Structure 1
């Protein structure tokens, strides 16, 4: 996906370790709070400071998605854990809209003011798409906009995933095998190779 197509994109992106896929296929994609409360095996990619702040704001009750796979969070995580393999679990924006996902037009931890959760359609129109599409050096505001989030407190079962992006054909085969073992044999979800992984 080219950076210029973000607003017109069809997917939402959730970055996670490949090692979390078994747990996700077993329990669905769930919020950090549900992971903790139910002692679900899961390896987090966010640093402890971010986890603490999100918990204080009550955002641990939501699963966060980004509007593209190029956010500074995603880049930082992949740079920090260079020896680990990551995947993107994606759902369709239409599905998010139909299921009343919320939107944060700017990343809540980069803002000095309090954050506001919007209903999907209002939040989508509130996003500063011109800034979202900018390239090059990013100031604090730009980074914050590029990390706008779409959130849900629902459990998302694997058969609702639109796609899972992986880094190469070898991982594609591993993921397809895991899906098949869980009886998920009808597309979607599609298992695609993403050049940004």
Structure 2
């Protein structure tokens, strides 16, 4: 499994969560031994560790080795190794390279948990010695960090469930879409703000200086600064989404200059019927010939054939149609973003540390979305 697959399926985070929960149980077990003074039971800890790090529970991602090592004073001893003549040796390591790479992205959260496991296991050598307070404090900090990330992931899953319970586009309407959603195009430097606040209208991000790199055409934006006739709102007060992301915008000079740093955000298509007063258009919203609609039944007015073919000729009309849009008023919450699509692997280093996977957002490398006409 590649690092991208592991990142998308949150296997790193889930593994850390599993180990943090198991660590609490092991700590409770050791305290019970100290309280009862039944030090013979300390050998049970070996089996607990083996079960915790078994292939079934860690999917072979971690390596555990435990054995008794003869103490130097007993080098010629050939009998059974026990607490009196030997000490325990333990080695716990990350087995897979992709998991090691993720560990670096997560500031070695998993490595920190494994170090705590090793330190706690040292009680086998001297059960009368208390685990250092610093070790326990570090243990609690690590678990708190894991819980924070898990809560974000669980909240995202809950939000996605809410979307599934709301009104949806019909299967026939979904079939018309060229791809699996609607799309917002931006520079990767704007991604952190989007993951924190959601997608916001052009007017909001510019008036609040929330955009780091603007890839839009200034002249086109001036043409969009007008009132649509359906709800009487300024077009700049909407979040724009393309029905087909492979349109003339992809060929624009400002986009082509930074094409390797462009990201496409795939929005769950049901946003069209779930966000109140959302519009859709039969062409680019900057063009006066374009019509806006609020009635779902009017979706038939869109030139689906051209949008599905994804080709346009060098005339104003086909270019206008290829830029057909969905316009969502004010904002789109993060949980409506189902995927981030990038051109190449090189850009991942700018995206991984933002942890969109915690928000249930997959990352896909697909250069086909970035081809020109």
Class of the TM-score when normalised by the shorter of the 2 chains: 0.7 to 0.9
1:160 and 2:315 correspond: no
Q: 5+ residue gaps in structure 2?
A: 1-174, 228-233
Q: Distance in 2 between matches of 1:84 and 1:130?
A: 29
1:145–1:24 distance in 2 versus 1, CA, 3 Å? same
Q: How far 1:109 moved relative to its partner?
A: 2.7
* Larger radius of gyration between Structure 1 and Structure 2: 2
Q: TM-score, length-normalised on structure 2?
A: 0.45
2:186 equivalent in structure 1:
16
Residue in structure 1 matching 2:273, options 97, 100, 107: 97
1:116 equivalent in structure 2:
291
Q: Distance in 2 between matches of 1:17 and 1:160?
A: 19
Q: How far 1:23 moved relative to its partner?
A: 1.7
More helix by share: 2
1:103–1:136 distance in 2 versus 1, CA, 3 Å? closer
1:73 and 2:243 correspond: no
SS in 1 for 2:267: strand
- Number of residues of Structure 1 aligned to a counterpart in Structure 2: 187
- CA shift digits 1:38-71 (9 cap, x unpaired): 3324322112111111123421101111112211
Q: How far 1:78 moved relative to its partner?
A: 6.0
1:137–1:160 distance in 2 versus 1, CA, 3 Å? closer
1:166–1:84 distance in 2 versus 1, CA, 3 Å? closer
1:192 and 2:364 correspond: yes
Q: Distance in 2 between matches of 1:77 and 1:65?
A: 20
1:131 equivalent in structure 2:
306
Q: TM-score, length-normalised on structure 1?
A: 0.81
Q: Distance in 2 between matches of 1:31 and 1:186?
A: 21
SS in 1 for 2:182: strand
Which has the higher relative contact order, 1 or 2, with Cα contacts under 8 A spaced 6 or more apart?
A: 1
Q: Distance in 2 between matches of 1:79 and 1:6?
A: 27
Residue in structure 1 matching 2:220, options 46, 50, 54: 50
- CA shift digits 1:115-172 (9 cap, x unpaired): 4321162342210122334535242211111110001014223232111111223423
Judge conservation of contact 1:62–1:153 (CA < 8 Å) in 2.
yes
Q: Distance in 1 between matches of 2:183 and 2:206?
A: 22
